[in-house]
Amino acid sequence: MAIVPLRGLVTTVMGCGMHANAMARVTVRALLVLVMVASATMPAAASQQATDKTAGEIFNTVMSPFCPGLLLANCPSSQAADLRERIRARLAAGATKAEVLDELYAEFGDEVLGAPVARGLGLLAWLVPGAIILLGAGGIVVWLRRSSRRAQPTGPVDVTLDAASQARLDVELSRL
C-alpha cells in the first residue's frame, strides 16, 4: 500500500482511489459505533457488579431459613439457591438492600436475622454482654487495688531461731 499526496489530500493507492477525507469519515464513524457499543455495555456490567456485591452482602448477613445455623451464602439446599436467585432478581429490578432485607424479615421473621433486632428483648441481647464485660473489668480493678494494698513491703524481718532449729539449719547447709 502506498500513500501519495495529491493537492493537500492523501489518497490511498490500492485500486479504490478513496480520498483521505472519506476514509477519515469512515474511520471516525466506525470508532463512534465502537464507543457507543462499549459505553452501552459498561453500565450494564457495572450495574451487574453492584448487584452481585449487594447480593453477596445480603447472603453473608442473613441466616438461611432452610439450613439452621448457616448463613444463606453457605446453605447448600436448593431452596436456598432459589432464594438467592430471588434476591438477585429483586436487586436487578431496582430494589435496595434495605427493601430486600425488610421483605425477608416479613416473610421469614426473626430467624432470618444474623443478629437480634435492637428493640424489646433483642435489646437485652446487645446490652447484657456489654454489662458483663464492664462488671468484669470493674471487678478486676477492685481486686487489683485490694491485693496491692495487702502486699505493702514492710522491710526486713528479724527471725530468731532456738538452738535446735539453728543446729538443724547448720547441718542442712553443710550438706550443700
13 and 97 share a domain? Answer: yes
Look at the chain and report how many structural domains it folds into: 2
Top pLDDT among 122 and 19 is at: 122
Give the cell for residue 78.
436448593
Q: What is the pTM of this model?
A: 0.47
53 and 134 share a domain? Answer: no
Top pLDDT among 126 and 116 is at: 126
Q: What is the pLDDT of residue 39?
A: 61
Coil, helix or strand for 166?
A: helix
128 and 48 share a domain? Answer: no
141, 142, 148, 175, 176 from 152: Cα distances, Å: 17, 16, 7, 35, 33
Residue range of the domain that includes 55? 2-115
Considering the domain boundaries, does residue 171 fall inside one?
A: no
Considering the domain boundaries, does residue 69 fall inside one?
A: yes
Considering the domain boundaries, does residue 176 fall inside one?
A: no
- The runs of H, that is alpha helices, within the chain are 20-59, 78-92, 97-108, 121-150, 163-175
Q: What is the pLDDT of residue 6?
A: 46
What percent of the chain has pLDDT above 70?
A: 74
Q: Identify the residue whose cell numbers are 436487578.
A: 92
Considering the domain boundaries, does residue 153 fall inside one?
A: no
Q: Identify the residue whose cell numbers are 465502537.
A: 34
What percent of the chain has pLDDT above 90?
A: 38
DSSP state of 64: P
**CATH number of the domain enclosing 61:** 1.10.8.640
Phi, psi of 93 (to 5 degrees): -80, -5
CA distance 165 to 150: 30
Considering the domain boundaries, does residue 136 fall inside one?
A: yes
Compute CA 131 distance to the chain's CA centroid, rounded to the nearest angstrom.
27
Q: What is the pLDDT of residue 165?
A: 92
Cβ within 8 Å of residue 62, ≥6 positions away: 71, 72, 101, 104, 112, 113, 114
**Residue 137 pLDDT > 70, yes or no?**
yes
> In the 3-class helix/strand/coil scheme, how is 2-16 assigned residue by residue?
EEEEECCEEEEECCC
Top pLDDT among 171 and 8 is at: 171
Considering the domain boundaries, does residue 106 fall inside one?
A: yes
Considering the domain boundaries, does residue 77 fall inside one?
A: yes
Considering the domain boundaries, does residue 160 fall inside one?
A: no
**Residue 158 pLDDT > 70, yes or no?**
yes
Tens-place pLDDT, residues 4-63: 554 444 444 444 555 666 666 767 776 667 666 666 555 555 578 888 899 999 999 899
Q: Which of 95, 115, 135 is the last residue of a domain?
A: 115
Phi, psi of 9 (to 5 degrees): -110, 155
